[in-house]
Amino acid sequence: MKRLTQVGLAVLIAGLVLLLKGSSPLVTTATAQTQNKAQQQAKESTRSAPPDTTPYTRPALPEDSAPRGVRAIPLLPGVSSIIVDVVVNNTDPNLTNTDTFNDGETSIAVNPANINEIVITAFSESWGANAPLWRSTDGGNIWTKQFTIPAPPGVAAAGCPCDQAVDYGRNNQMSGTFLISDIFSGTTTDPASAAAWNWLVIAGVTQRTNHLVPSSFGDADQPWLLVNRDPTTPTQDDVYAAYDDFSGGPDMRVAVSFGVDPPNFTVDNQSGTSTGGINPGHRLAVDRQTGFVYSLFQRCVGNCGGDPKNINYMLNRSTDGGATWILNGMPGGIIVANADSTQPQPKFGTVNALLGGADHAAVDPNNGDVYYVYGSRDAGTGNDRLAIRRIFDNGGGGVTVGPENFVTGQVEAAIPSVAVASNGIVGVFYYTFDGFSSGFPIFSAHLAQSSDQGVTFSDQMLEMFLSSAADNGDPRQRVLGDYMQMKAVGTCFYGAFTGNGVPFGRPFSNHDPIFFRACPASTRPTPTPRSRPTPAPRPTPPR
């Protein structure tokens, strides 16, 4: 009866509307908006703007050297630990007086064949001629800014590299992925030589890394590259490039090149689907003992137009070289955690939109456990803390997600990067926003370490600094960048972050890539390796 009444009412109202307005018979309260408005909105759509490589500089303030009277660069424990400004500790002694580039959004690669050879990339200058990288051959004490990244042949690359990420494999091969309007990836055995880069060039044009997915052309974003051993041929290294395809959900894609130099991406599959309102924060983590690869990303599932947003932190896995992605029977990945998070705006510390998410993961090289760090806003205090979960083998081909523990206390934290050393120590790099001084935000870079599988952490501040810039009104302003990167090699953590150079000796306030190496002594026995599932035979990919 109720249904009949409703249907009758609907028909009556529909008929009236049809008669009076010549419009949808089902619309009871229609607005007067027209298609012209959609066309007008179309004109407002923009996807081409200069990168935020603003050289944020200003005269140095007394507080730059000691924010709030605190020593800006505490001594790192451990005889092998160092922290240096790569602009100051440089083979060019004048660079500290002249370099004013943005230097945001760092990536780091450490050569496993020679851990004294370390490369950092950042927004340190764009293509026109070759773009620069920062290279050290003495373990990170002294650096050289080398203009040795050529633009991919045949590609209009001026103004970029935009996002970029580098990683070393074996045989001295370092691969890098670079965002232009699409993604291009190359490999070099000598980062000091522009000529040593190999790109897959076809008919004079470098092949896109995302070439197998036409929908992504012009819509690819934020590539993330890691090298991993092949799951079935342990002596072979494969290059994985994760990226977002914003023509879709956005779609999380992972392109794979199998053991060839230059990289040739012959597999590209979807590892998940994100949502609007946030950046997906798509990242990779690799298990170098099995060749398994993890794809992690964010999905906004609540209050996506407001603040804070409710986010599902997702994890997916491929055990067959990226041919298939599935975890615990879920092709779209599993939910590792659900939490509120403040991103991308209001800006972190009022000056850094979080357009790279608040998530990262790494694999314990001893037993394959995955440590997943994510942003979690405390509803009581409003602080965006960082939490962590250990994800471990469930013995049945899947994984179990462990309980939530907190990396930070009640602080406003962001831009995490996690790594696991060979002695099982879990390290988490992150920033905190600590208030204001002289009108500028105060940030601290931290390295938190856990020797009990991420249950408790001890915190080491790396640098406290005043931002070189205040809020400029741009909602996409990023004085730091979308991500920072830390990796573990052996028992040491190697990281690079964007920080103020004044405490290191710069004569004016400018952000630089800051390198740190922290080698904590193990406080627990080396973990016993766990038996792990045999990798599934890979379906024959179209190589």
CB of 130 to another protein, least distance (A): 19
CA distance 116 to 351: 34
User: Which residue, 277 or 501, has its beta carbon nearer to another protein?
Assistant: 277
* Full 3-state SS string of 187-209: EECCCCCHHHCECCEECCEECCC
User: Which residue, 62 or 329, has its beta carbon nearer to another protein?
Assistant: 329
Q: Is the peptide bond before 250 cis (omega within 30 degrees of 0)?
A: yes
CA distance 276 to 247: 11
Among 365, 394, 366, CA closest to 527? 366
CB of 252 to another protein, least distance (A): 9
Joined together, the tokens standing for residue 53 give 């490589």
User: Which residue, 24 or 410, has its beta carbon nearer to another protein?
Assistant: 24
Beta strands in 421-504 (DSSP E): 426-437, 440-450, 458-466, 485-489, 492-500
CA distance 328 to 326: 7
CB of 39 to another protein, least distance (A): 7
CB of 464 to another protein, least distance (A): 26
Q: Is the peptide bond before 150 cis (omega within 30 degrees of 0)?
A: no
CB of 93 to another protein, least distance (A): 30
User: Which residue, 90 or 312, has its beta carbon nearer to another protein?
Assistant: 312
Instruction: State how far the alpha carbon of 368 is from the alpha carbons of 232, 265, 393, in Å.
Output: 17, 26, 8
User: Which residue, 227 or 278, has its beta carbon nearer to another protein?
Assistant: 278
CB of 113 to another protein, least distance (A): 32
| Strand, helix or coil for residue 452 | coil
Among 212, 156, 206, CA closest to 184? 206
CB of 27 to another protein, least distance (A): 5
Instruction: State how far the alpha carbon of 403 is from the alpha carbons of 306, 336, 389, 427, in Å.
Output: 28, 10, 6, 18
User: Which residue, 84 or 323, has its beta carbon nearer to another protein?
Assistant: 323
What are the backbone dihedrals phi and psi of residue 88, each rounded to the nearest 5 degrees, phi first?
-80, -50
User: Which residue, 26 or 205, has its beta carbon nearer to another protein?
Assistant: 26
DSSP state of 90: B
CB of 338 to another protein, least distance (A): 12
What are the backbone dihedrals phi and psi of residue 306, each rounded to the nearest 5 degrees, phi first?
-125, -155
User: Which residue, 161 or 424, has its beta carbon nearer to another protein?
Assistant: 161
CB of 470 to another protein, least distance (A): 20
Contact status, residue 405 vs residue 377, Cβ threshold 8 Å: no
User: Which residue, 100 or 273, has its beta carbon nearer to another protein?
Assistant: 273
CB of 321 to another protein, least distance (A): 18
CB of 453 to another protein, least distance (A): 28
User: Which residue, 13 or 192, has its beta carbon nearer to another protein?
Assistant: 13
User: Which residue, 3 or 531, has its beta carbon nearer to another protein?
Assistant: 3
DSSP character string of 113-171: T-TT-EEEE-SS--SSSPEEEEEESSSSSSBEEEEEEPPPTT---TT---SEEEEE-ST
For residue 129, is it left (φ>0), alpha (ψ between -120 and 50) or beta?
beta
Contact status, residue 150 vs residue 167, Cβ threshold 8 Å: no
User: Which residue, 333 or 368, has its beta carbon nearer to another protein?
Assistant: 333
Residues whose CB falls within 8 Å of the CB of residue 22, separated by 6 or more in sequence, listed in order:
none
User: Which residue, 348 or 516, has its beta carbon nearer to another protein?
Assistant: 348
CA distance 228 to 226: 7
CA terminus-to-terminus distance, the chain:
63
Instruction: State how far the alpha carbon of 424 is from the alpha carbons of 114, 371, 377, 451, 529, in Å.
Output: 22, 11, 28, 7, 11
CA distance 296 to 315: 4
Q: Which residue has the tokens 């974003």?
A: 221
CB of 184 to another protein, least distance (A): 13
CB of 216 to another protein, least distance (A): 7
